[in-house]
Structure 1
Amino acid sequence: MLSLKKSLVFLTSAALLLQVSSVAIAAEEEIEYVPLQEEVLNPLGAASVWDASTQSILFKLRNGLTGKVTVGSDKYELGTQVGSFPASVQLDGTTAMIPEDEDFIKTVNLQNASANILDIAHQPPASTIKVKATLETEASEQKGDSIDDPSVWIHPENGNKSLIIGANKKANPGGIEVYNLEGKRIGAYGVGKMNNVDVRYNFKLNGKKVDIAASTNRTTNTINIFVINPQTSELTEVTGNYLESNMEEVYGFSLYQSQRSGKMYGLITGKEGEFEQWELYDNGNGKVDGKLVRELKIGSVTEGIVADDEYGKFYVAEENVAIWKYDAEPSGGLLPEAKIDTVDGIRLTEDVEGVTIYYAKDGEGYLIASSQGSDRYVIYDRKSGKYVTTFMIEDGVIDGTSETDGIDVQSFGLGDEYPDGIFITQDNTNVEPDGSIANQNFKIVPWEDIAEGAKKKLKIENQNPRQLKARK
Structure 2
Amino acid sequence: MRIAAGLMTVVAVAVVSSSVPAEPRGAAAQNTVATAGATVETEPVAHSGDAADDPAIWFDPADAARSMVIGADKKGALETYDLTGKRLQRIPDVYPNNVDVRDNVVVAADDDTDEGVLRIYLVDPKTRRLRSAATVPTTVTAHGLCMYRSPKTDKLYAFPNAVSGRVEQWELTVRGSRVTAKSVRLFNLGRAVEGCVADDASGALYIGEEKVGLWRYGAEPDAGRTRTLVDGAKPEREGHIQADVEGLAIAGDRLYASSQGSSDYTVYGRMDNKYLGRFRVANSGGVDGCQDTDGIEATSRPLGTAFPTGLFICQDGYNVQGSTVARQNFKFVPLDRVVLPIGTQPVPYP
TM, length-normalised to structure 1:
0.68
Structure-2 change in CA distance of 1:141 and 1:333 (3 Å)? same
Which residue, 109, 113, 138 being the options, matches 1:216? 109
User: In proportion to residue count, which structure has more helix?
Assistant: 1
Letter in 2 for 1:218: D
* Residue 231 (structure 2) pairs with residue 341 (structure 1): yes
2-side partners of 1:239 and 1:224: how far apart? 6
Match of 1:391 in 2: 279
* Per-residue Cα deviation, 1:361-407 (whole angstroms, up to 9, x for no partner): xxxx0110000000010000011110001000112321111110000
Q: What secondary structure, in the 3-state scheme, does the structure 1 residue paired with 2:83 have? A: coil
Whether the 8 Å contact between 1:130 and 1:392 is mirrored in structure 2 is: yes
Match of 2:144 in 1: 252
TM, length-normalised to structure 2:
0.90
* Residue 174 (structure 2) pairs with residue 286 (structure 1): no
In structure 2, runs of 5+ residues without a counterpart are 1-6, 25-29
Structure-2 change in CA distance of 1:245 and 1:262 (3 Å)? same
2-side partners of 1:155 and 1:59: how far apart? 38
| Higher-Rg member (1/2) | 1
* Residue 28 (structure 2) pairs with residue 129 (structure 1): no
Report how far residue 56 of structure 1 moved: 5.7
Whether the 8 Å contact between 1:192 and 1:218 is mirrored in structure 2 is: no
Letter in 2 for 1:296: F
1-side partners of 2:249 and 2:257: how far apart? 7
Match of 2:190 in 1: 299
1-side partners of 2:155 and 2:12: how far apart? 29
Whether the 8 Å contact between 1:58 and 1:335 is mirrored in structure 2 is: no
1-side partners of 2:50 and 2:35: how far apart? 26
* Residue 230 (structure 2) pairs with residue 328 (structure 1): no
Report how far residue 304 of structure 1 moved: 0.4
2-side partners of 1:230 and 1:59: how far apart? 41
Letter in 2 for 1:378: T
* Per-residue Cα deviation, 1:121-145 (whole angstroms, up to 9, x for no partner): 3334833101111110001121111
Report how far residue 59 of structure 1 moved: 4.4
2-side partners of 1:388 and 1:193: how far apart? 35
Q: What secondary structure, in the 3-state scheme, does the structure 2 residue paired with 1:160 have? A: helix
* Residue 303 (structure 2) pairs with residue 414 (structure 1): yes
2-side partners of 1:393 and 1:459: how far apart? 17
Which residue, 75, 79, 96 being the options, matches 1:170? 75
Report how far residue 285 of structure 1 moved: 7.6
The percent identity for this pair of structures is 34
Match of 1:60 in 2: 15
2-side partners of 1:57 and 1:287: how far apart? 35
Match of 2:91 in 1: 189
Report how far residue 344 of structure 1 moved: 2.2
Structure-2 change in CA distance of 1:59 and 1:297 (3 Å)? closer
Say which is worse superposed, 254-263 or 344-353, in terms of deviation.
344-353
Match of 1:356 in 2: 249
Whether the 8 Å contact between 2:12 and 2:187 is mirrored in structure 1 is: no
Match of 1:425 in 2: 314
* Per-residue Cα deviation, 1:384-433 (whole angstroms, up to 9, x for no partner): 1100010001123211111100000010000111111110010010000x
In structure 1, runs of 5+ residues without a counterpart are 1-50, 65-117, 202-210
Whether the 8 Å contact between 1:252 and 1:270 is mirrored in structure 2 is: yes
